[in-house]
Amino acid sequence: MRAEEIRRLYVKFFEERGHKEIASASLIPENDSDVLFTTAGMHPLIPYFSGLEHPMGKRLVGIQKCVRTDDIDEVGDAFHHTYFEMLGNWSLGDYFKQESIKMSFDFLTGVLGIPAERLAVTVFGGNEQTPKDTEAYEIWKETGINENRIYFYGMKENWWGPVGETGPCGPDTEIFYDTGANPCGVNCGPACECGKFVEIWNNVFMQYNKLSDGSYAKLEEKYVDTGMSLERILAVSNNLESNYETECFYPVMEKIKSLTKAANPQNYTREYRIIADHMRAAAFILGDGKKVTPSNKKHGYILRRLIRRVIRIIRMMNVSENILPQIAEVIISINAPVYPELADNREFICDQLNKEFIQFGKTLTLGLKAAEKLFSHLAPGEKLDADAIFRLFDTFGFPPELTGELANERGIAADMAGFKKRLADHQEKSRRAQ
Ligand code: SER
C-alpha cells in the first residue's frame, strides 16, 4: 500500500462518516503557544476543545505536519521521529468513545485489512482524580478484541495532554500492532519497549481541562482527538520492519548511503536513520514558509541542533563536503506533491543548509581551540563546570554534547546537568525580555 493511498483512504473513510477535511496547519503554531512547534493534529484545534464552534462543523478529519522534540533521543530506532505526519479525526462535542473506537477498529481491519488478532489495545486504569475507563474496555470487547489483548495502564501511558501546562486533556486508548516477535518476558505488553508492540493510533477522550493549579475541571462537552502516524501505519500495512524502509524514507536512506560511502554500511544503520530523520525535520521547518533560520533561540535553536547533529555525524563518517542540500533535494521531491511549500522554498532550504554548514565549520574550529584551552587546565578526574560549558555554547555556538564528549575522552567530568539548568535560566530570561 502506498502513502498516498493511505492518506486518501483515511480521509474518505471519515468523510463518508460525516467528517469535513481540514488542511494541515503550519508547523509553527499561529497563536501564542506554550510549545514551539505543532506537535499533534489537535494542536491547531485547541480553541475548539473549549466550546468555540469550528466553522466546518463538529466532525473533522485531516493530516497534520508535526514536529516533536521529546522523542529526539529515540530517533535511530525503527519507529520514532522528530518530524512526522499525523492522520487525525476529531469530534467537537459530537460522537464519543463508542463511535470513535468502532471507527478506528473498522478502518484498521476493514479498510487496511490488518487482522484483528494482530491488534492489542491499552485503556486508562484510573487514579485518585479520574476513574478507570471501563467504558472503553467494554467497547473494545464488543469489537471482538480478546480481553487478554486489552491492557489497563496509568497516567503515564494512557493520558494525553494538555499541550503545554494547561488546557484540554483526558484519558486515551492506544492501539498497537503486534509484530509477532517473541514476548520479552512474562510482563511483555504494549507498555514495554522491547519492540514487539508498535503504537499506531491514539484515541484521546477529552473530558478535562487542566488548570494552572494542577487540578482537572470537567469540560462541558465531550471531545475526541485521534492521531495515527502515517509513517508507522505505512510500515505496518506493508509488513516492513521500520519506517525507514517505507517510501517516505527509503530513497533518502539510499541517497545518504551513496553520499557517505561507508565501507561497511551495515554498521551505520542508526547514523543513516538519524541523518534521514533530522534532515526531513529540518527541510520541513525551513520549508514551512515562516522563514525560520538556524539560531541560538527558540525554533531556530531546535533547527540548528538538528542540522548540526547531522553535520557532526557525517564528519564522524569522514565526509568533509557539504552533502546536506543533496539529501534535502530527495526529501523535497518525495514530499512536494503533498506539501508544495517545500518546492516553493527549495532555494531557501538549500541556502540555509549551506550557510549553517559553513557557520558550523567556523564554530568547530574556534570552539575546539577554546575548549582545548579549558581542558589544558584540568587533569583527569577533575570537573568542567557548567559556566564554562555555557560560555563555549553561548560565545562560539559550540555544541554542549561535543564538549561532553571531549571531556569524556580526557577522563574529565562535565557538569551537563548544571549546563542544562544554566541554559534553561538563560532561555527564560531572553523569553521574558521579548
Ligand atoms: N493528540 C494525541 C496524540 O498526539 C492524539 O492525536 O497522541
pLDDT digits (tens, 9 = 90+) for 362-400: 988 898 899 999 999 999 999 999 999 999 998 887 888
b/e burial code for range 319-330 (CB count within 10 A of at least 16 → b)? beebbbbebbbb
Report the share of the chain in percent with pLDDT over 70: 98
CB within 8 Å of 222: residues ≥ 6 apart = 91, 93, 96, 205, 206, 207
Peptide bond into 162 cis (omega under 30): yes
Query: Are the C-beta atoms of 326 and 350 separated by less than 8 Å?
Result: no
260: which 3 cell numbers? 557517505
pLDDT mean over 168-197 = 93
pLDDT band at 308 (very low <50, low <70, confident <90, very high): very high
Ligand 1 atom with the smallest distance to the CA of 40 is 4
Domains in the chain: ranges and CATH: 3-241 (3.30.930.10), 249-374 (no CATH), 377-434 (no CATH)
For the Cβ of 88 lying below 6 angstroms from any atom of ligand 1, the answer is yes
What distance in Å separates the CA atoms of residue 430 and residue 83, rounded to the nearest whole number? 26
For the Cβ of 407 lying below 6 angstroms from any atom of ligand 1, the answer is no
148: which 3 cell numbers? 487478554
- Give the model's pLDDT for residue 431: 61
- 331 phi and psi angles, rounded to 5 deg: -60, -40
CA-nearest residue, atom 4 of ligand 1: 40
Residue carrying the nine cell digits 519497549: 193
**Average model confidence (pLDDT) for the chain?**
93
Provide the CB-side half-sphere exposure for 204 (13 A, CA): 26
Question: Does residue 156 register a pLDDT over 90?
Answer: yes
Question: Does residue 265 register a pLDDT over 90?
Answer: yes
Ligand 1 atom with the smallest distance to the CA of 42 is 1
Question: Does residue 434 register a pLDDT over 50?
Answer: no
Question: Does residue 279 register a pLDDT over 60?
Answer: yes
Phi-psi sector, 74: left (phi>0), alpha (psi -120 to 50), beta? alpha
b/e burial code for range 268-297 (CB count within 10 A of at least 16 → b)? beebbbbbbbbbbbbbbbbbbeeebbbeee
For the Cβ of 231 lying below 6 angstroms from any atom of ligand 1, the answer is no
**C-alpha gyration radius of the chain:** 23
Strand, helix or coil for residue 275: helix
CA-nearest residue, atom 3 of ligand 1: 227
Q: What is the per-residue pLDDT across 112-144, written as a single tens digit (0 to 9) for each?
A: 999 999 999 999 999 888 889 999 999 999 999
Ligand 1 atom with the smallest distance to the CA of 66 is 4
Distance of CA 291 from the midpoint of ligand 1 (Å): 27
pLDDT mean over 281-298 = 95
pLDDT band at 401 (very low <50, low <70, confident <90, very high): confident
Q: What is the per-residue pLDDT across 412-429, written as a single tens digit (0 to 9) for each?
A: 999 999 999 999 888 777
Q: What is the per-residue pLDDT across 5-57, written as a single tens digit (0 to 9) for each?
A: 999 999 999 999 999 999 999 999 986 667 899 999 999 999 998 889 999 99
Question: Does residue 161 register a pLDDT over 90?
Answer: no
Beta carbons within 10 angstroms of residue 182's beta carbon: 9
Q: What is the per-residue pLDDT across 216-249, written as a single tens digit (0 to 9) for each?
A: 999 989 999 999 999 999 999 999 999 999 999 9
Question: Does residue 433 register a pLDDT over 60?
Answer: no
Q: What is the per-residue pLDDT across 348-365, written as a single tens digit (0 to 9) for each?
A: 999 999 999 999 999 888
- Give the model's pLDDT for residue 306: 95
pLDDT mean over 330-356 = 98
What distance in Å separates the CA atoms of residue 360 and residue 320, rounded to the nearest whole number? 12
Distance of CA 26 from the midpoint of ligand 1 (Å): 17
pLDDT mean over 141-160 = 95
What distance in Å separates the CA atoms of residue 429 and residue 434, rounded to the nearest whole number? 9
For the Cβ of 204 lying below 6 angstroms from any atom of ligand 1, the answer is yes
Strand, helix or coil for residue 12: helix
For the Cβ of 174 lying below 6 angstroms from any atom of ligand 1, the answer is no
For the Cβ of 41 lying below 6 angstroms from any atom of ligand 1, the answer is yes
Question: Does residue 312 register a pLDDT over 80?
Answer: yes
Q: How far is the CA of 134 from the CAs of 124, 140, 330, in angstroms? A: 8, 10, 47
pLDDT band at 430 (very low <50, low <70, confident <90, very high): low
For the Cβ of 367 lying below 6 angstroms from any atom of ligand 1, the answer is no
